[in-house]
Structure 1
Amino acid sequence: MTLTGLYVPLITPFAADGSVALDALERLAHDVLGAGASGVVALGTTGEPSSLSPAERSTVVDLLAGVCTDLGRQLIVGTSDPAEVPASAAAALTLVPPFVRPGEDGVVAYFSALAARSPVPLVIYHVPYRTAQPLSAATLRRLAAVPGVAGLKLAVGGIDADTIDLLAGPPAGFAILGGDDVVISPLLALGAAGGILASAHLATASFARLTRSWDAGLGHRLARLSAALFAEPNPAVVKAVLHEQGRIPTPDVRLPLLPASKESTRTALDRLSETL
């Protein structure tokens, strides 16, 4: 299995009555896959999984698994329990254990145990500004050597020394996917295999082209769009823009998130028009 190119961590659209708008979700999946995405992520942070009921989460995964199977594309499922992931999925996106700060050896032991019992490969989500657990380039290479670990969603908040070290000598067969939308262009220039990018709900074809063939000018324009889309907690602005486009029935998010402001929505629409 090769993980490369663009993966869109899909929002969970809501209908006016508060239920999951499954028809809109299916259309979004077809839209981004038809525009060149390699696959989609179900139940990533952008999908607000902590606000969904178990039944809602299961329905979302089943729907997206069906779309990806029909179109021959890859599904990645965000979860802390890979046993819940369908066998047809390409991988489980699994967060470095947050809050407890187990240390680097603890992280390696945790993923070694998780991968050993997972029915699908793991993509490790490394986002230290949320988990409070830093990992060195040396530790990331140790994780890459764990059987059953296929890749890394790298979201350290920028380009640090460990990122440069890791990308200067990436482990063979280990997919390093950028997870900070604003800096995806320099990550690709340094050698990342692709990205898991919420911004790619919009201008999907441009993001897909960027992940296939890095272009500095396109990268700069998309970075401005990403900055606008992340001006408020994700996915509020993304949802507001999709609603303005008529692609989802409401811009609603669930608490603790709040809807995007009109100002942020207008700025993101302006940036989008500059990109297209």
Structure 2
Amino acid sequence: MNLDGTHVAMITPFDKNNNIDEEKYRSFIDFLIAGGVSGIVAAGTTGESATLTHSEHQKVIDIMVDQADGRVTTIAGAGSNATSEALDLVKYSEDAGADSALVITPYYNKPQQSGLYNHFKFLNDSTNIPIIAYNVPSRTGVDLSVDTITDLAKLDNIVAIKEANPDLNRLAHLFSLLDKNNLLDNFSVLSGNDSLILPMIAQGSRGVISVVANILPDKTSDLVNSALNGNYTKAQSLSNELFNIMDVLFIEASPAPTKRALKLMGNDVGGLRMPINEMSDENEVILKKALKEHNLI
């Protein structure tokens, strides 16, 4: 499965009653596709998956698959801290027609490396949909080791990892192990940090699952494609240009800054679900300054 390029960790639009706004979601998907992205992710952590009900989770996956209509790769968020629940979501994603499922490492439980491996192996053995493992230790409290990732890459349906551990030395170790085991042809490493798109591609990553692409799909795609095509001069320039936007989108709990940015840009995608609050006035000033610098408002 080709996962090269920019895949957007989409926000989930809500209406005035904080219910999923299907019309805005469909329109937002069209906006991203028009911006040149390679893929979209529904019900990921940026999509507030932790506060979606199971039926809502399924609904946004269905909307994504239907609206994309084969134009871009569709990736369904399907993770849980319970393996049985993750299996239900992965199976639903497969039945819904998503191209792949994004499965975060089980959070809070802090399983051993053997437990993490068995979690993904169980999903691999129980379904046929390609699975992208998601490693984000800052949020989950667990970190897939490079040895465990290498072992997962040997499984037929584990096709990629979204790597959000920012340690580039560790990343070099991972690529070394994948190369020694002849796994690089069938397993992709995707950046889970927008600010590390360029150095990760330089080391061997094939793209990104991006937050900043929610507001700048065109420039994010240009950055990724330039790097993948070996035009590092242009990619470096774009990375430098976008850094302040990438940074400010995490000035508060995500996706609060991203949703506020879209609203300021004239695309009101609704509010947030508790326990995430709206941005403070002080941080909105910082966000506005960054958006003005990019002529977005």
- Taking structure 2 as the reference length, the TM-score comes to 0.86
Task: Answer yes or no: is 1:202 the counterpart of 2:222.
Answer: no
Query: 2:74 is aligned with what amino acid?
Result: L
Q: 2:92 aligns with which of 76, 84, 87?
A: 84
Give me the whole-angstrom Cα distance separating, in 2, the residues matched to 1:65 and 1:118. Answer: 18
Q: 1:223 aligns with which of 240, 243, 258?
A: 243
Give me the whole-angstrom Cα distance separating, in 2, the residues matched to 1:211 and 1:274. Answer: 21
Q: Which residue of 1 aligns with 2:174?
A: 166
Are the equivalent residues in 1 in contact too, given 2:9–2:42 (CA < 8 A)?
yes
State the identity as a percent.
Answer: 27
Query: 2:73 is aligned with what amino acid?
Result: Q
Are the equivalent residues in 1 in contact too, given 2:261–2:291 (CA < 8 A)?
no
Are the equivalent residues in 1 in contact too, given 2:113–2:148 (CA < 8 A)?
yes
* Segments ≥4 residues shifted beyond 6 Å: none
Pairing of 1:224-243 with structure 2 (within 5 A) = 224-243=244-263
Q: Post-superposition shift, 1:43?
A: 0.4
Are the equivalent residues in 1 in contact too, given 2:10–2:46 (CA < 8 A)?
yes
Q: Which residue of 1 aligns with 2:264?
A: 244
Tell me: CA distance 1:258–1:147, structure 2 relative to 1, closer, same or farther (3 Å). Answer: same
Task: Answer yes or no: is 1:262 the counterpart of 2:270.
Answer: no
Structure 2 counterpart SS, 1:47: coil
Q: Post-superposition shift, 1:13?
A: 1.2
Q: 1:211 aligns with which of 198, 206, 224?
A: 224
Give me the whole-angstrom Cα distance separating, in 2, the residues matched to 1:118 and 1:238. Answer: 33
Query: 1:229 is aligned with what amino acid?
Result: L
Cα-to-partner distance string for 1:83-121 (whole Å, 9 max, x where unaligned): 111442111111112222222222222211111112311
Two-structure CA RMSD over aligned residues (Å): 1.7
Tell me: CA distance 1:275–1:138, structure 2 relative to 1, closer, same or farther (3 Å). Answer: farther
Are the equivalent residues in 2 in contact too, given 1:180–1:197 (CA < 8 A)?
yes
Are the equivalent residues in 1 in contact too, given 2:259–2:269 (CA < 8 A)?
no
Q: Mind listing any 5+ residue stretches in structure 1 that lack a counterpart?
A: none
Tell me: CA distance 1:236–1:207, structure 2 relative to 1, closer, same or farther (3 Å). Answer: same
Q: 1:177 aligns with which of 184, 190, 196?
A: 190
Are the equivalent residues in 2 in contact too, given 1:151–1:175 (CA < 8 A)?
yes
Query: 1:47 is aligned with what amino acid?
Result: G
Q: Mind listing any 5+ residue stretches in structure 2 that lack a counterpart?
A: 79-85, 228-234
Structure 2 counterpart SS, 1:19: coil
Task: Answer yes or no: is 1:107 the counterpart of 2:112.
Answer: no
